[in-house]
Amino acid sequence: MNRAEQLRIPAAIAIASLVAYVLGFYFTSLFPGYLPKIGGLWSAISAIVVTQITRQEARSSASLRVLGSAIGAATSAVYLSFLPFHPVGMALAIFATGVICTALNIPSHGRLAAITVIVVMVTASLDPGLNPLLNALLRFVESCIGTAVALLGLLLWRR
């Protein structure tokens, strides 16, 4: 592998992170009070997670990312609709998310779902006045933004 090939993935990750951060930030800023920096951060993290060496690996990672994020966001939304943030509650929501993924026969999605639970719940702890459903939905959409940016980048990036 030559030097240019060695730098391709770090460059793709850096560009995808930047684009995803900016898009996530501006998307979330459409919702006053919902922490656009968290939106940018979560979008960029998703882009990093999905950016892989091959397109096949990226598609597989994107599937894990989107479905895992949906499950984690939904679990968090349900929890936060009834109870305020608490670290023990967060751990219980992570456990429930893992059980859901296992029951759906997608245990490999559990880790990314658990990360989504943490992001949704910690965001809720920063501002307890956030609507739990909108907060979770925003985190899911931000995850999708980062995933889409990574996949688009891989399509456009020359081999």
User: pLDDT (tens digit, 9 = 90+) per residue, 14-57?
Assistant: 999 999 999 999 999 999 999 999 999 999 999 999 987 677 78
Total domains in the chain come to 1
The structure tokens listed for 159 are 């081999």
Q: Which structural domain, as residue segments, surrounds residue 124?
A: 3-156
Would you say 109 and 71 are in contact if contact means Cβ atoms under 8 Å apart?
A: yes
Q: Which residues contact 10 (CB under 8 A, 6 or more apart)?
A: none
Look at the block and give the residue holding tokens 């391709």: 8
User: pLDDT (tens digit, 9 = 90+) per residue, 72-129?
Assistant: 999 999 999 999 999 999 999 999 999 999 999 999 889 999 999 999 999 999 999 9
User: What is d(CA 136, CA 78) in angstroms, rounded to the nearest whole number?
Assistant: 9
Q: Which DSSP state fits 31?
A: S
Would you say 61 and 16 are in contact if contact means Cβ atoms under 8 Å apart?
A: no
pTM above 0.85, yes or no: yes
